Amino acid sequence: MLPKKKKLKTLFNAVDVLTLTATPIPRTLNMAMSGIRDMSSIEEAPQDRQPVQTYVMEQNSAVLLEAINKELRRGGQVYYLHNRVESITHCAARLKALLPDARIGIAHGKMGEEELSKIWKDLLDGEIDVLVCTTIIETGVDVPNCNTLIIEDADHMGLAQLHQIRGRVGRSTRRAYAYFCFRRGKALSEIATRRLEAIKEYTEFGSGFKIAMRDLEIRGAGNILGGEQHGHMDAVGYDMYIKLLNEAIGEQKGDTEPKKTECTVDLDISANIPEKYIPSLSHRLGIYRRIADIKTLDDKRDVVDELIDRFGDPPSEVLGLIDIALLKGAAERNGIYEISGDRQSINFYVKNITPENAGDLIKKLGQGTLLVPAEPMHFTVKLKAGQNQVALLKEIASRL
């Protein structure tokens, strides 16, 4: 059976379709990022709203009871998400025993329409304090007085789904709270860990796009021409996947746009992220990608600030990696495709050297720059006495 959107497109071929979503599925987002579909992003937050305060934690009854009581004391209501219909009544009874004065309701997808309508009416009328529910609240529920959300076994849910459910609270001017819980002592899988880290990291307004991007990286992009909505990316990584896809699309469109210059750097500089600085492999890979995207001095400052906030002061190896990334970005803008050297000099290889760009580059590379006519023709910058490569490269990067 075709999804509703596909069915509409089949019935009305000439009609334009506008899709609104907080977190597009990986395949849809990938199509937008690669130019197959058009996409716009609304970043302005609703007036007077506050981001949801988010906690990721092991299941802790004392903490959760305090969170519920805190909400009830200020006259609010609570969603308690227990996503198993067969045991949801037992969960509600357990909460009732712990909260004897609270009015507790139950809602799940196997209930009848009239029964659910009564539950929603009671919730809106303030006659239910704590709604024990399944993911039935994921879409279409707007109760401004519900401003605390507790999710059991959050590690079983998808990243976009967690973000959608978190959007059920914080729908008024009040500060809202969300608790994403997993069983005490449980060893989480790497993918579950990455999902929970992302939902904790991205809490500000407009974070849906960032969460969708992280979901795309975790799950893969799926088949552009096919039924699968995620997967098939782990072998090459997202950046390479997008690069190959863009090249293929360009060929089909007949684009003759010249390829951008890519610069390789081969220098005797310690440039890496030590495991002792960032122990988690997934975090290290994410930071490598962030550093690789550095193009300007502002980008560099943003990355350094992020590293200090998350992991502490970066060691010299990480700072060296950041300096090289900044140099690469500046070099590529000037047509430099290779930088190599030793402790005496640094060589810069440029495509299509002409008298005009040669003079401009010599000025940017600084005094002491020589144009070496050997094949391939390149520029050489001699290091001054006592000067190290890193200091010279910083100077050059600031001028390029």
Task: Render 21-48 in DSSP notation, one character per residue.
Answer: -SS--HHHHHHHHTTSS------PPPTT
- The full DSSP string for 374-398 is SSSPEEEEEPPTT--HHHHHHHHHH
Q: Which domains does the chain have, with CATH numbers?
A: 1-43+218-257 (no CATH), 53-205 (3.40.50.300), 264-399 (3.90.1150.50)
Integer CA distances (angstroms), 51 to 98, 142, 147, 206, in order: 29, 16, 11, 10
Contact partners, residue 146, CB within 8 Å, separation at least 6:
76, 77, 78, 79, 123, 131, 168, 169, 171
pLDDT of residue 316: 87
Q: Which residues of the chain have pLDDT under 70?
A: 1-6, 8-9, 21-39, 41-46, 203-250, 253-261, 282, 355-356, 387, 400
pTM: 0.53
Taking only the tens place, the pLDDT of each residue in 47-62 is: 777 888 989 999 999 9
Taking only the tens place, the pLDDT of each residue in 269-287 is: 778 888 889 888 767 877 8
Q: Are 191 and 121 in contact (CB under 8 A)?
A: no
- What percent of the chain stands above pLDDT 90? 26
